[in-house]
């Protein structure tokens, strides 16, 4: 999955305005705040006449309420439906005519939007973003909400109901997190909640979370900070502050016993999902858990990949990930069986490898490979102005400073084999969520789950 060679010296040649100084890798950036609370991060990179505008709103599915889930993702669609001075479909048409592109994404924690293209399109990007931030509500009506609601429902059908193993996305959050926890529902929401969302729900959500004081704009490319700030003041300065969005309090629950379920689905081979509750982003243990995930499945030589895919040949694929988010975190392992193999076989092998890693710890060679490959991944995210803009926003939201690149590298380099051994013992040997997905009609096959649910 990742390159094994240490790429620090070579990768820095690709980083544009990023520098390798006595303090390490740096991406120089300024942070300014308008009177209305809008924060602007500017990174100057004159290596190519392009620019990226990356806007993060501090709102995701975690900010929703039970019974009204899916609003954050619905807004990702609604924000492209036109504003007072740029009616639909002018947002896309004007950017395309200028040679630029755009997109958006929603997570548990944030919703981000970007535009990327030639630097001469920067005023247009700002004008379009400002118009939908400040003049969205006057043209938002029930017809537009209903149209995008139907599109999101269809997206849910494609990614959950009709996607092989997609049902896991519905069950996993509620099994990991107790009712009412901000992560206890899927990002895309439920069909019932999407149907229940009213025009007034949409308007209230916008007023609370799409205000300038709940947004951060990162601009990276062939720009000058003073010119950017002048444009931002021109286009965004008149937008009033919002009422103040409530901040979520970190809450990391702990499972007290295994929670298990078997789901029937229209699949050819069974799949096993393990989830362990761990820590939230930037906890001292989060990077160590990330290293553990690499040691398990990050390369062809990683432990679970070698054992299940190449030696036992019991799995067609296996993947581990440390999901460290703003409120809480979990560690996941997903393995799909090969034809002729079953989930108890996978479970036995996974348990054995976790026990072995906890008992003996990783070797020096494994640790070197993990650190080098993961450092290369950090540096790879800095190769483009789009990648830097996104990371500047992420570091600022999570750390309060945009240039967190060297801090990320430093904490990775500090992880020891003993640290990995400790976190595996502490987090990956205890109670877990176990989700078994089996072909329709095969729930009676001996498996790992104590409870069976047949899902149409």
Of the options 3.90.100.10, 3.30.465.10, 3.40.50.300, 3.30.830.10, the CATH number for the domain spanning 16-236: 3.30.830.10
Global pTM value: 0.91
Catalytic status, residue 76: yes
Where are the CATH 3.30.830.10 domain residues in the chain? 16-236, 259-454
Of the options 3.30.830.10, 3.30.540.10, 3.30.565.10, 3.40.50.300, the CATH number for the domain spanning 259-454: 3.30.830.10
CA distances from 371 to 239, 252, 376 (A): 45, 27, 8
DSSP string for 176-218: HS-TT-TTSS-TT--HHHHHH--HHHHHHHHHHHSSGGGEEEE
Q: Residue 79: is it exposed, middle or buried by C-beta count within 10 angstroms (0-12/13-18/19+)?
A: buried
CA geometry: angle at 189 spanning 184 and 191, to 5°? 125
Of the residues 44, 64, 76, 96, which is catalytic? 76
Q: And the tokens for 241?
A: 């502050």
- Walk along the chain (456 residues) and give the pLDDT tens digit of each residue: 323 233 333 333 344 556 555 558 899 999 999 999 999 999 999 999 999 999 999 999 999 999 999 999 999 999 999 999 999 999 999 999 999 999 999 999 999 999 999 999 999 999 999 999 999 999 999 999 999 999 999 999 999 999 999 999 999 999 999 999 999 999 999 999 999 999 999 999 999 999 999 999 999 999 999 999 999 999 999 999 999 999 999 999 999 999 999 999 999 999 999 999 999 999 999 999 999 999 999 999 999 999 999 999 999 999 999 999 999 999 999 999 999 999 999 999 999 999 999 999 999 999 999 999 999 999 999 999 999 999 999 999 999 999 999 999 999 999 999 999 999 999 999 999 999 999 998 775 444 443 333 332
């Amino acid at each position: 999955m990742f390159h094994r060679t240490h790429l620090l010296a070579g990768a820095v040649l690709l980083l544009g305005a990023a520098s390798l100084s006595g303090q390490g890798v740096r991406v120089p950036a300024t942070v300014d705040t308008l009177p209305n609370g809008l924060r602007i991060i500017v990174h100057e990179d004159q290596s190519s006449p392009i620019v990226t505008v990356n806007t993060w709103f501090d709102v995701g599915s975690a900010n929703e309420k039970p019974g009204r889930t899916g609003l954050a993702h619905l807004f990702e669609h609604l924000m492209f439906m036109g504003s007072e001075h740029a009616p639909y479909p002018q947002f896309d048409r004007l950017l395309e005519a200028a040679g630029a592109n755009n997109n958006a994404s929603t997570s548990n924690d944030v919703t981000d939007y970007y535009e990327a293209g030639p630097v001469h399109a920067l005023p247009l990007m700002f004008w379009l973003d400002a118009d939908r931030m400040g003049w969205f509500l006057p043209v938002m009506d029930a017809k537009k909400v209903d149209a995008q609601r139907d599109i999101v429902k269809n997206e849910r059908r494609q990614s959950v109901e009709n996607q092989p193993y997609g049902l896991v996305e519905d069950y996993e959050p509620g099994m990991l997190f107790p009712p009412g926890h901000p992560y206890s529902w899927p990002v895309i929401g439920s069909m019932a909640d999407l149907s229940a969302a009213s025009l007034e729900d949409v308007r209230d959500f916008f007023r609370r979370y799409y205000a300038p004081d709940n947004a951060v704009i990162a601009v990276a490319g062939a720009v000058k900070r003073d010119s950017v700030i002048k444009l931002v003041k021109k286009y965004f300065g008149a937008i009033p502050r919002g009422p103040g969005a409530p901040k979520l309090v970190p809450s990391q629950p702990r499972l007290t016993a295994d929670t298990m379920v078997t789901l029937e689905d229209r699949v050819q081979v069974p799949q096993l999902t393990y989830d362990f509750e761990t820590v939230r982003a930037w906890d001292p243990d989060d990077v160590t858990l990330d290293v553990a995930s690499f040691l398990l499945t990050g390369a062809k030589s990683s432990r679970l990949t070698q054992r299940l895919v190449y030696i036992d040949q019991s799995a067609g694929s296996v993947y581990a990930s440390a999901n460290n988010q703003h409120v809480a975190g979990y560690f996941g392992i997903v393995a799909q069986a090969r034809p002729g193999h079953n989930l108890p076989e996978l479970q036995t092998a996974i348990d054995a490898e976790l026990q072995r890693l906890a008992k003996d710890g990783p070797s020096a060679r494994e640790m070197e490979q993990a650190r080098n490959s993961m450092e290369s991944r950090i540096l790879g995210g800095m190769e483009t102005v789009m990648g830097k803009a996104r990371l500047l926003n992420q570091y600022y939201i999570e750390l309060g400073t945009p240039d967190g690149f060297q801090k990320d590298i430093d904490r990775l380099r500090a992880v020891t084999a003993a640290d990995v051994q400790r976190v595996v013992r502490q987090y990956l040997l205890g109670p877990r969520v176990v989700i078994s997905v089996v072909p329709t009609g095969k729930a009676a096959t001996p498996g790992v789950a104590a409870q069976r649910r047949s899902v149409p």
